[in-house]
Structure 1
Amino acid sequence: MEGDGATETLLGKRGSGSGGIRELSFVKEFGQESKSLWALSGPAIFTYIFQYSLGALTQTFAGQIGALELAAVSVENSVIAGLAFGVMLGMGSALETLCGQAFGAGQIRMLGVYMQRSWIILLVTACVLLPIYIFAPPILSFFGESDDISRAAGKFALWMIPQLFAYAVNFPIQKFLQSQRKLMAMAWISLAVLILHIIISWLLMFTLGWGLVGAAVSLNTSWWLIVTLQLVYIFYTKSDGAWSGFSWLAFRDLYGFVKLSLASAVMLCLEFWYLMTLVVIAGRLDNPVIPVDAMSICMNIQGWSAMISIGFNAAISVRVSNELGAGNARAAKFSVVVVSITTITIGIILMAVVLATREDFPWLFTNNAAVAKETTRMAILLALTCLLNGLQPVLSGVAVGAGWQSIVAYINIGCYYIVGIPLGILLGFTFNFGAMGIWGGMMGGICLQTLILILITSTRNWDKEASEAESRVMKWGGATANDG
C-alpha cells in the first residue's frame, strides 16, 4: 500500500480510541489529515484532469475547424458519451464502497474478485447502451436539438462506439487501484497517453485533414491505450495480492452486485444527465449553435475545475471507506471536515481565476466572435459554479465511501429534476434569459442539493456507519475470501 509511515502511524492512533485524538491539537491533526488527503487527491486530480482533457482537447481542436464541428463534438461528448460515462462510472462506483471497505477490513483478495464482477456487469451494460449511439440523431431531435447538430453529433457518435467499451473496462480498474491508494500509476499512465493524444490528434485532424474522423480515431485509441497500460501494471505487479488471477468467484452473487451497482449508477447518472439535459434544452433556443457552443465552452472549463474536486471526491471516498471498514468512525468523520475546508478554499481561488480571465479564455476554444462574446457574458455564472464545485462533489464522495447511494439518488431527483431543470426552463424561456437562465436554474438545483448533503453528513451517526461497513464487507464476500 502506498503512503508514508507517519500518516499510517497517526491513523493507527486515531483508531485506538478517543484518547489518541485528544492528545493532538486541532491544527496538528488537521495538518496530518490534510497531508494524507493530498497524498491521495494529488495523483487522483492529475489522473482525472489528464483523462478529462482527452475529450476536452478534442473538443477544442474541433472548434478550430468550425462552429458546427464544435457543436457536434460538444453534444456527443456531453449528451451521448456523457450519458454512457455517467452509467459506467456510476455502476463502477459500487467498487468504491466495496473495495474500499474490504481493503480497510484486510480482505485484500476480494478486490480482484469485485473488479471481475464489475467487468461482467459493465460490459453487458455497454451492449445495452449501444442503441443510444446508433440512433443518436433521432434521439437528439426528439429532445429538441436542431437537425444540423443532431446529424453531425449522431455521425460522430457512431465513430465513438469503441470508447463505450473502453469505459466498461476502465472504471472498474480505476476503482480497484484507487481503493488501494495506487493512484500514481494511473496518473503517469494518463499523462503519457495525453501527450500522445495531442500529437496524434493534431496529425490526424489537421496535418492529414481527417477532421472529425481523425478526432474519433485518436480519442478511441487513447482510451484503449489507458486501459491496456493499466491492465499490464495490474497483471505484472499482482497489486500486492489484490490480483490473484481470474476466479469463478466473479460469477457469484451477480444479482445482488447488480442491485448495488444500479444504486450507485442512479446516484451519479442523475448528476451527469442533469448537465446533459441542460445542453439539450439550450438547443431549443433561437439560433442554437451560438448558445450551445457558449454553454459547451463553459462546461468544458467547469469540467476541468470539477476534476480537482473529483480528485478529492476519490480521496475522501477512499479515506471514509477505509476507515469505516477498519472501524475508525472518528477518523472518517474528521476526514470529512478537513476535505470540506480544503475544497471550499480551492473553489474560491478558481472563481477568482475565471473572473480575471473571462475576456480571454473563450478564444482558446473558438474563433467565432459571437460565441466568444456569449461565453464571456456567462463567465459570472461559470465562476459561481466553480465555487459550488468545491464542495458538492466531495460530499457525494463521502456518500459513496459510506454507502449512502440510495439516499443521495432521491435527493438528486428532487433537487435537479423537480427544482433545477424547471427553474432553468422558466428563466431561459419564460423570462428570456437564454443560456444564462438555463445555467442559473442548474445552479439553483446544485445549491439545494449541496445544502441537503451538508445537513445529512453533519447529522449521521458515524459509529453506526462503521458497524454497517463491517456487515457490508461480510455480506459481499469477505467471509468467503479464502474458499475460492
Structure 2
Amino acid sequence: MDNGVQERLLGPEAEEEGNLKERVWEESKKIWRVALPGVLSRVSSFGTIVVTQSFVGHISGPDLAGYALVQTISVRFVNGILLGMSSATETLCGQSFGAGQYHMMGIYLQRSWIVDLITLTILVPVFIFGTQIYKLLGEQEDIAKAGGYISLWFIPFVYNFVFSLTIQMYLQAQLKNRIIAYLSIFQILLHVPLSYVFVYVLNWGIPGAMLALCTSSWFLVLGEFVYIFGGWCPDTWKGFSKAAFLDILPVEKLSLSSGVMVCLELWYNAILVLLAGYMQNAEVAISAFSIGLNINAWEFMISLGFLGAACVRVSNELGKGNAKAAKFSIKVLLGTSVIIGVFFFILCLAFGSKIACLFTSDEQVAETVSDLSVLRSFSVLLNSIYPLLSGK
C-alpha cells in the first residue's frame, strides 16, 4: 500500500503520533546535552566519598561508624554552607555573562575564593574538636574517638570545596561544564585503584583510605586550574586582580544567606544518623543508616543533574516566549527521570540484601541495611520525581 493511501486511512492520529515521537526525540537530545555532564560530574565526585566509605567499612566497625558521623554531620554541614555560598558565585557570574561583562566573571571567582577560604577556616574547629563535639551530642565514646580521628583527615579534603564548587559554577555560567564531567570521571577512575593500593597493598588502613580521597579530590581541582589558567577561558579569566578584594562584605552577606539555607536543607538526613547514635546498638545503627543514605544520595546526584537541565531548558523556552515548549520539556524530563528511577528501584529491590557487602564485612550491619532495602527502594524512586517538580 502506498504511503499516501496509508496516511488517508489512518488519519491525523498517525501523523500526530509520528510528530510526537520526533518531538520527544529532539527534546531528549537537548535535555541529555545539558544533563549528561552534570550527572556524570555529580555521580563521580560523590562516588569518591562512597568508595572511601566502602574501604573504611572493611577495616573495622567503629571506624565505619566514625566515618559515617563525620561525613554525614560535619562534612555535610560544611559542604552545605559552601555549596550555598557558591550558588551566589553562579548568580553573579551568570549575570555578568548575560550582560557581556566577561572580565567580571574572573573577579567574582577570585572574590568567592577569598570569602569561602575565610568562612571554611572559621569552620575548621568543627573537625579539630570532632571527638569532643560527638561526645557532647551523646555519641558512644569509641565511635566519637574514631570519628574525631577521621575528622582530622577530612580537613585537607574539605578545602577542595572552596575551589571545586566555585569553579564549577563559574564554568557552568559560560556553558563550559563538559570539562568538569571529564575531570570528575577521571577522578573516580583514579580514586578506586589508589584506595586499593593505599589500603590493601601498602596496608595503611584509615590514613590510606583518607589519603586516597584527598589526592583524587585535589586532582580535580588541579585539572580545573590548568583549564582556567591555561588559556581555555580567555574572555573571562584575565589573571589575578586586586579588584577581587573590593566589595567583599556584600558578597559575604549574599553567600552566607544562601549557604545557611542550603545547609538546613541538607541536614535532615544528618539528623537521622545522629539519632541512630542513641539506639541500643549505636555502631550498627549509625553504619547501616549511613550506608543507606549514601546509596540514596548517590542516586540522587542523577536527579540533580536533570534538575539543572530542567532549569536550563525551561528558562530557554520561556525566554523565547514559548510556554508550551517549556511545559513539554518538563514532561519529557519527568518521564526520563522516572524511567531511570524505576530502573534503580528494581535494582535496589533485587540486590538489597547484597549491596551492604560492598561496604562492610560486619554481618549485623549488612543485615540491617538489607532490612531497610524496601524503604530505600521507594526513596530512590521518589528521588526521581520531586527534584524536578520543586525546580519547575
2:268 pairs with 1:279: no
Aligned to 1:441: none
Q: Which amino acid aligns with 2:133?
A: I
Aligned with residue 148 of structure 1, among 129, 142, 149:
142
Aligned to 2:159: 165
1:311-344, Cα deviation, whole Å (9 max, x unpaired):
22333344456677x6757466665454333323
Aligned to 1:415: none
TM-score between the two structures when normalised by the length of structure 1: 0.72
The structural deviation recorded for 1:307 is: 1.3
2:98 pairs with 1:99: no
Aligned-CA RMSD value: 2.4
Q: Which amino acid aligns with 1:234?
A: I
1:331-375, Cα deviation, whole Å (9 max, x unpaired):
666654543333233222221211111122121111222111111
Q: Secondary structure at the match of 1:93?
A: helix
Aligned to 1:132: 126
Aligned to 2:174: 180
Aligned to 1:391: 385
The sequence identity of aligned pairs, in percent, is 39
Q: Which amino acid aligns with 1:190?
A: S
In the alignment, structure 2 segments of 5+ residues that lack a partner are 1-18
- Call closer, same or farther: CA 1:191–1:355 in 2, change over 3 Å: same
Aligned to 1:53: 47
Query: In structure 2, how many angstroms separate the alpha carbons of the residues matched to 1:243 and 1:317?
Result: 26
The structural deviation recorded for 1:179 is: 2.2
Query: In structure 2, how many angstroms separate the alpha carbons of the residues matched to 1:35 and 1:260?
Result: 35
Aligned to 2:189: 195
The structural deviation recorded for 1:28 is: 4.6
Q: Which amino acid aligns with 1:371?
A: V
2:373 pairs with 1:374: no
Aligned to 1:213: 207
Q: Which amino acid aligns with 1:160?
A: F
The structural deviation recorded for 1:269 is: 0.7
- Call closer, same or farther: CA 1:246–1:30 in 2, change over 3 Å: farther
Query: In structure 2, how many angstroms separate the alpha carbons of the residues matched to 1:336 and 1:78?
Result: 32
Aligned to 1:74: 68
The structural deviation recorded for 1:124 is: 0.8
Assess if the C-alpha contact under 8 Å between 1:40 and 1:181 holds in 2. no
Q: Secondary structure at the match of 2:204?
A: coil
Assess if the C-alpha contact under 8 Å between 1:179 and 1:318 holds in 2. no
Query: In structure 1, how many angstroms separate the alpha carbons of the residues matched to 2:252 and 2:328?
Result: 32
Aligned with residue 123 of structure 1, among 117, 121, 124:
117
1:242-294, Cα deviation, whole Å (9 max, x unpaired):
22222344334322222322232123211221111211111111111111111
Aligned to 1:315: 309
- Call closer, same or farther: CA 1:26–1:104 in 2, change over 3 Å: farther
Assess if the C-alpha contact under 8 Å between 2:59 and 2:206 holds in 1. no
Aligned to 2:355: 361
Assess if the C-alpha contact under 8 Å between 1:43 and 1:183 holds in 2. yes
Query: In structure 1, how many angstroms separate the alpha carbons of the residues matched to 2:240 and 2:322?
Result: 34
- Call closer, same or farther: CA 1:264–1:394 in 2, change over 3 Å: farther
Matches within 5 A, 1:371-450: 371-395=365-389, 398=391
Q: Please tell me whether Structure 1 or Structure 2 has the larger radius of gyration of its CA atoms.
A: 2
Q: Secondary structure at the match of 1:113?
A: helix
1:50-85, Cα deviation, whole Å (9 max, x unpaired):
111111111101111121121122221111111111
Query: In structure 2, how many angstroms separate the alpha carbons of the residues matched to 1:246 and 1:360?
Result: 51
- Call closer, same or farther: CA 1:245–1:193 in 2, change over 3 Å: same
Assess if the C-alpha contact under 8 Å between 2:352 and 2:370 holds in 1. yes
1:7-59, Cα deviation, whole Å (9 max, x unpaired):
xxxxxxxxxxxxxxxxxx66655443332221121121111111111111111
Query: In structure 1, how many angstroms separate the alpha carbons of the residues matched to 2:180 and 2:352?
Result: 32
Aligned with residue 42 of structure 1, among 21, 36, 43:
36
Query: In structure 2, how many angstroms separate the alpha carbons of the residues matched to 1:126 and 1:245?
Result: 24
2:29 pairs with 1:32: no
Assess if the C-alpha contact under 8 Å between 1:166 and 1:227 holds in 2. yes
Aligned to 2:102: 108
Aligned with residue 251 of structure 1, among 245, 251, 258:
245
Aligned to 2:296: 302
Query: In structure 2, how many angstroms separate the alpha carbons of the residues matched to 1:256 and 1:327?
Result: 33
1:408-446, Cα deviation, whole Å (9 max, x unpaired):
xxxxxxxxxxxxxxxxxxxxxxxxxxxxxxxxxxxxxxx
Assess if the C-alpha contact under 8 Å between 2:195 and 2:212 holds in 1. yes
Higher RCO (C-alpha under 8 Å, 6+ residues apart): 2
Query: In structure 2, how many angstroms separate the alpha carbons of the residues matched to 1:378 and 1:244?
Result: 52
Query: In structure 2, how many angstroms separate the alpha carbons of the residues matched to 1:124 and 1:53?
Result: 27
In the alignment, structure 1 segments of 5+ residues that lack a partner are 1-24, 399-456, 458-484
Q: Which amino acid aligns with 1:138?
A: Q
Assess if the C-alpha contact under 8 Å between 2:272 and 2:289 holds in 1. no
The structural deviation recorded for 1:395 is: 4.7
Aligned with residue 352 of structure 1, among 346, 352, 355:
346
Q: Which amino acid aligns with 1:175?
A: M
The structural deviation recorded for 1:126 is: 0.7
